Amino acid sequence: MEEINNQKKSLKTEITQKYLPFVWEVLKIFIIASAIVLPIRYFLFQPFIVKGDSMAPNFLSGDYLIVDELSYRFSDPQRGDIIIFKYPKDTAQRFIKRVIGLPGETIDIKNGSVTISKDGKSFMLDENYLPLDLKTYGDARIVLGADDFFVLGDNREFSYDSRAWGNVPKKDIIGKTFLRILPLTAFSKF
């Protein structure tokens, strides 16, 4: 009986000496990989999948994007940037839209076009990224606050955007579109 107990102890020692270093190495690799990947994922870049057709024809449902979360910590969004943000009426949802109006501007939508005014100067929005026959529907005048942005979807006829639910506060902006990864045929950097 004592011999069997000694054999069991010997076997446990052998297994421990053989496999414990392997388990420790795997655990170290996992810890190091997590220390590298998690900060990148949560503070620098994150994935986003487009749902719906509000950004067609430039982005289609199912497009897989990488969002740059770092740039807007050092600069403000610019007109024409494609941003990912928390939907103001339900911050658990994420939306993708194009920045049209910047803080302190007045946006006038009338007769299918967008006019932007600030400090007595105004101009009609030139949107060379959209089809020429595209019109922006609705009649509205929106005055943006000091930290507000006005956003529109590229598919103006079918987009649920600032015309319907108002401005996007800067604090709700997650980041800007950096890369389109999928589909591979549409891979591009923005």
User: Which residue is catalytic, options 8, 10, 51, 54?
Assistant: 54
> What is the tally of helices (H) and strands (E) in the chain?
2, 12
51 is an active site residue? no
52-98 per-position pLDDT tens digit: 889 988 889 999 998 998 889 899 999 999 999 999 889 889 999 99
In contact, 178 and 189? CB cutoff 8 Å: yes
Nearest to 69 by CA among 42, 49, 106: 42
Q: Tell me 14's DSSP state.
A: H
For the whole model, what pTM was predicted?
A: 0.75
Helix (H, G, I), strand (E, B) or coil at 158: coil
- The span from the CA of 190 to the CA of 187, in Å, is 10
pLDDT band at residue 8, thresholds of 50, 70 and 90? low
What are 151's two structure tokens? 């956003």
97 is an active site residue? yes
User: Which residue is catalytic, options 89, 97, 122, 162?
Assistant: 97
115-162 per-position pLDDT tens digit: 999 998 989 888 887 877 777 888 889 999 999 999 999 998 888 999
